[in-house]
Structure 1
Amino acid sequence: MSAPHPRPDADSAAAESAAGRNRPRRREGAAWVFLSPWLLGAAVLTLTPMLVSLYLSFTEYDLFTAPKWVGLDNYVHMFTSDPRYWRSAVNTLLYVLVAVPLQLALALAVALALNSIGRGKGFYRSAFYAPSLLGASMSIALVWRALFNDGGTVDDLLSTFGIDMGGWVNQPGWALLVVALLTIWQFGAPMVIFLAGLQQVPHELYEAAEVDGAGRVRRFLSVTLPMLSPVLFFNLVLQTIQAFQVFTPAFTVSGGRGGPADSTLFYTLYLYDRGFTASHMGYAAAMAWVLLVVIGIVTALLFRSSRSWVFYNDKG
């Protein structure tokens, strides 16, 4: 007696089932193919240099001879025997605390003004955004230095009111403010983000608050700020990270020396000085990793604090 032959419909069902199991694998393979350029770039251009710099931070390296392992000596010297390192850290922290809040406040104020106008919004938005495109360049930083230098435009303007500053960039108490003002002037990018967030606030909330008798200040505090808090948080994190890494304005305003009296010696400027001027690349690598850790800690603290003041619509 011959064995029964399988039915054709059973064979086709088994084939379709196998094809269904193989389809996710083919899609996964295609995804890895498309991701491979990014993965290769991240491994070669980001991860590998980071690991090399981590190794160099434990060595004495001058770019010309082979690295010499010194263990934690760079970190110990940094924290215990280098007063200029601490001066650069304090200058950077002071700059962050001054520049970031003032920049965000100005960006929000201009965004509120632009959100209330009907005609010409595109023109004004582009005009206010332009400094963010130009401000990071060396040429604008040089112009900024000339404006606040001895005999510059700002100095001449103040002299007409009987105020003789002798040039802001030459005064240890004012040079850091010059760099901060350059950053505050570049408020265009956060302004555009604030403006986009303002346009997403439901108008019904303002109408309800107005019916309840809320004035402009109360509507701003009770409606605008809570609804804009996720955008404010995003701008705060982004601008804080960028402020810790400021280099071009400080380098240009101080002539690359961090003067006068180390008043504009920012962290990245001192890192550049140790690595490329003094050829202490191992020490500079250690400074870079400390900066990375500090930025990570500050960012984590900002995220943790956001639980108490950032409002998301999906929370109900």
Structure 2
Amino acid sequence: MSQSQLSEPASETDASLNERDIELLRNAPELYHQICNELGKRIIGQRDAIRHLFIALMARGHCLMIGVPGLAKTLLVQSLADILDLDFQRIQFTPDLMPGDITGSEILEEGDDGKRYFRFAKGPLFIQLLLADEINRTPPKTQAALLEAMQEKHITVAGHTHQLQAPFFVLATQNPVEQEGTYTLPEAQLDRFMFNLTIDYPSHEEEVEILLSTTVDRNATLSKLLDADRILALQHAVRQIPVPRSVADYVVHLVQATRPDHPDSPDFIRRYLQWGAGPRASQNLALAGKVIAMLDGRFNVAKEDIIEAAPLVLRHRLLTNFHAEAEGRKVNDLIADLIRHIN
């Protein structure tokens, strides 16, 4: 849908969508198109990943990126930070990484008066866009420190709370192949990630283009298309997009049907799932639907927006059991079956 064809906001949105919000939402599809074009100067392919990262950012969510090494995940995140004009930091998570290494710590210093004082030295979490590389390689205590930052937008050190910068966007990577020396991410932390993104191998044509473009001395300069203030304004505008009651009912019905002990769950969910999604999944589906509607030039959320977001929101929140493993049933297949069943 072109920008000139953008639908007018429904009357029920007039109370929450002001003129500034409407202007931002109208311009968002063209802005996203420009961002994709800029990223295309460095990133070949990965259009789905780019779209999903942008959706999560606009919805104030965090992403877990699953993919083998060498698929340009770090370059993608670095390039996105350049275009959005956000402060960027990469942390390589390792088994010896301690909570203070990412949050910061109190340092004892001597003042001009000869007395000693504690000064808080900020860690790398005090950033706007954070790439947590191989997050499953660090111990649970350090994962918990990151969890607080993701959920609460602040960290606590020595009994003192320190607010993080806004926007605060975490992209964590995980290698799906090499599991030696890793720590399983607890369900509570997985639930804090809005999306679980699968970064796939490039196609033949894309890999040829990657080979040709990366074996010469060329470093494309990217234009800055956004800044922190405009991102915050867009995030606010997105939240003013209404969710019709019928769509909200569909979202809750879909999420509740993932729970094996729920009376509305189908037989295949009862057979193959050990655990389903909680209320945070419903919230994230609705927020993702709002951003997808915005990118399509609409001022209301449709069921199709929820269906697009469902695999990204649900697949890391559903725990399969031994029946699924024995019969080769994957989470993505179960989500697809559930969508067909609920429809």
Normalised to the residue count of structure 2, the TM-score between the two structures is 0.25
Q: Which has the larger radius of gyration?
A: 1
Larger helix share, 1 or 2: 1
Q: TM-score, normalised by structure 1?
A: 0.27
Higher fraction of strand = 2
